[in-house]
Structure 1
């Protein structure tokens, strides 16, 4: 039995269900990258400004910030599988509506915004529910490797998704959104086919993060959602994970949208842009695959400190980038380094969080990360319209200096967690 009362799956069932979960994650990531890479180009092609494209992207990223933590509560209570299946179905319908409208008629900005928001609401619920799945499907000893394999799938989607999305967009503008809709259908089928009981059980009554402790079981959904926040506040390692992931994710999104706007303004088409993003995805895939071995050899603290400092000059150099190949080389270097500490930190967080609270803890970290990611494209679009294009890279480099100083101070904590 697992802590909290949920049965451990057999090794064979665990391997089968993790494969299904991996394929669901890979399909989701591939479809999202294919459509997401061309969404700004679609908006620009429809005659909207970079500022509008950045605002739409920011709204889509912000859409899930509220629903994610709330959806984590029923997921931890036992509705994890149902939430993942139905949210994938809703997201498929939303992306399908964009594709159909592009085929048969004129796609309006309100329709596009509503469809993107619905898709983001649905995926926020899916992501919140999925965060506890690895701990329920995989034995503890296999969980770090499972996290690395899932991260590799995400990075592999970055290799194929933008290139396929850019090529498909060149052929017919609706194709990337058809692919995204189909990917969500694959997600729903794979999750539905999983046999492992995805119920984490009850939080022990003596756990200080039990929202129902001391006879206080009727305080409501918000109190239960706040259990993850309380745990993050209590545990230094989780605070470090939240800070690092949130800031680095915001920096990465800012650099991505800045590159899109600069390259589009210079006349670069969808296919070259997709190839640039594919190069960065290939570098990220290599970093994800190397992360577990690098952590075992160098230690989590050293990886975290060295990588964060190395990101500073690479990010600052983007201020001087003037073409797709320059962006490809610099963004590729950043993408190669990012997964090394990210995979290590996520694995440590997974191993130190009770299964009954993993969805809620993950939702807290994702909300902080999503908040920075939602602001990033808005700022990138604003800078592209009204300020020098070098400003986003220099601002991100300054933030990374502060983050590197913070992670250096927390080196002892990370070493202890490793």
Structure 2
């Protein structure tokens, strides 16, 4: 093999030799997948009930909500910054180091709650540290998939990661509720222990996850700007940013609309919980089916077909009147979205150089999560101003616009699929 051809070989290409049938047969991918599952379960077990702990300590709802909002924003701010460092330094130490920091933060809250000394400032600082550490772990983790599996297994590996995240969203709240019934501090202890387990699993990964760089690293500002320029200059990645941010915002608004509409109809908390459960099951099934679909259906058809399929489903939410129907319609939407996510994420990894993977991942993630964070507020304002039916029809119209955009850009997906 010539020197030029050797340089073109992507990281992890040597794994293609004697490739096993499943990414799970690769030890390091299994550890990476398991670490994410444990992390997600621990976070779900504590984050949903931390506001209840503050309320129980006598703090008003406004301050409790402020803690959650500030922590969320801190994660969004830290993520792109951490992405720069994840492309400059060894990623594995960042992963287990961030997990240890998060374990310490949540461990301190667990001790405070167990001793009955809950202080708002302490909880706020700990929540901010946990979110920042989680963003750092996520930034480093976003650059690892190319090293853990060969290109031929990207689709299945990303599908399994999607399924893992969907399963965590289903199981996590239930687990947290069960732990909270034992004692208020138990979910916090579980979260702290989960971060310790994540650190152990990340430390045990043998694959070298250090990003490829040539020459000394430029300044932080130049590295940060380079990541933004790369995403902006790559037409396919620009499409991914627009589609992902749009879907996250519109689906978040539709979820919130379903909850508000059910509450207005005096639905019980368990009935409202059924909506989220059905939606989560739909997302899990969609993620599990995604690799099979991607292997058999052209990528442009998946992106455009799924985008258009969401439009009548969203319109149906405007005329739904039963809680179970809200759940089924949202489940149908959740069933179609993962296949598109797998297609887009797989191709995003393929078009991005190894030295830019973490920055690319954090730019896309921050754009999607930042817009999604505004969805509940926007939905509440629109429902109050125009009513639930008008808001749902407006979301359907916006989804139709997004589907038109996806259809017009289908050539980009086809080009990256070749």
Is residue 103–residue 174 contact of structure 1 (8 Å, CA) maintained in 2? yes
The equivalent of 1:208 in structure 2 is none
Structure 1 Cα separation of the partners of residues 301 and 105 of structure 2: 43
Tell me the residue number matched to 2:179.
168
Is residue 277 of structure 2 the alignment partner of residue 278 of structure 1?
Answer: yes
Following the alignment from structure 1 to structure 2, what is the Cα–Cα distance between the partners of residues 295 and 40?
40
2:170 to 149, 159, 182: 159
Q: CA deviation at 1:175?
A: 3.6
- Which ranges in structure 2 are unaligned for 5 or more consecutive residues? 1-5
Distance 2:116 2:384 in 1: 30
Query: Aligned with 1:63: secondary structure?
Result: helix
Q: Distance between the aligned counterparts of 2:50 and 2:263, measured in 1?
A: 13
- Whole-Å separation in 2 of the counterparts to 1:326 and 1:79: 48
> Displacement of 1:353 after TM fit?
1.1
Residue in structure 2 matched with residue 268 of structure 1 by the alignment: 268
Separation in structure 1 between the aligned mates of residue 99 and residue 53 of structure 2, nearest angstrom: 23
Q: Does 1:187 align with 2:186?
A: no
Q: Does 1:64 align with 2:75?
A: yes
SS at match of 1:201: coil
Shift of residue 249 of structure 1? 1.8
**1:209 aligned residue:** none
- Deviation, 1:359, is 0.5
Give the 3 Å change call, closer, same or farther, for CA 150–110 of structure 1 in structure 2. same
Could you say which structure has the greater relative contact order, defined with CA pairs below 8 angstroms and 6 or more residues apart?
Answer: 1
Tell me the residue number matched to 2:286. 287
For 1:104-153, what per-residue CA distance to the aligned partner results, in whole angstroms no more than 9, with x for missing partners?
33645544443332221111111111111111122222222211111111
State how far apart, in whole Å, the 1-side matches of 2:52 and 2:302 are. Answer: 36
SS at match of 1:77: coil
In the aligned structure 2, how far is the partner of 1:278 from the partner of 1:57? 23
C-alpha contact (below 8 Å) 1:95/1:115 kept by paired residues: yes
Q: Does the C-alpha gap of structure 1 residues 302 and 84 become closer, same or farther in structure 2, counting only changes over 3 Å?
A: same
For these two proteins, the number of residue pairs brought into alignment is 404
Matched, 1:345 2:356: no
Q: What TM-score do the two structures reach when normalised by structure 1?
A: 0.84
Provide closer, same or farther for how the CA distance between residues 5 and 342 of structure 1 changes in structure 2, counting only shifts above 3 A: closer
- Cα distance change of structure 1 residues 31 and 395 upon mapping to structure 2, 3 Å threshold: farther
Please give the alpha-carbon distance, in whole angstroms, between the structure 2 residues aligned to 1:54 and 1:394.
29
Q: CA deviation at 1:332?
A: 1.5
CA gap of 1:105–1:40, structure 2 versus 1, over 3 A, is: closer
Aligned-partner Cα distance in 2 for 1:389–1:36: 28
Superposed counterparts of 1:90-169, under 5 Å:
90-105=101-116, 107=118, 109-169=120-180
Partner of 1:407: 406
* C-alpha distance in 1 between matches for 2:377 and 2:411: 36
Contact 1:61 1:370 (8 Å CA) reproduced? no
- Structure 1 range deviating more: 366-375 or 252-261: 252-261
TM-superposed CA distance for 1:248, in Å, is 1.4
CA–CA distance in 1 between the matches of 2:54 and 2:399?
30
Superposition deviation, residue 327 in structure 1: 3.3
Distance 1:386 1:22, change over 3 A: same
* Structure 2: distance between partners of 1:305 and 1:233: 22
Give the equivalent residue in structure 2 for 1:305. Answer: 304
User: Which of 206, 212, 217 does residue 201 from structure 1 map onto?
Assistant: 212
The answer on whether the counterparts of 2:274 and 2:324 sit within 8 Å (CA) in structure 1 is no
Q: What displacement does 1:34 show?
A: 3.3
Contact 2:13 2:151 in 1 (8 A): no
Does the C-alpha gap of structure 1 residues 339 and 35 become closer, same or farther in structure 2, counting only changes over 3 Å?
Answer: farther
Q: CA deviation at 1:170?
A: 4.7
Question: Residue by residue, what CA displacement relative to the aligned partner does 1:274-319 show, whole Å, maximum 9, x if unpaired?
Answer: 5543332221111011112212222111111121122223234334
List gaps (5 residues or longer) in structure 1.
206-211
Distance of 1:37 and 1:327 partners within structure 2: 22
- Partner of 2:87: helix, strand, or coil? helix
Quote the residue 2:3 is aligned against. Answer: none
- Following superposition, the deviation at residue 365 of structure 1 comes to 0.6
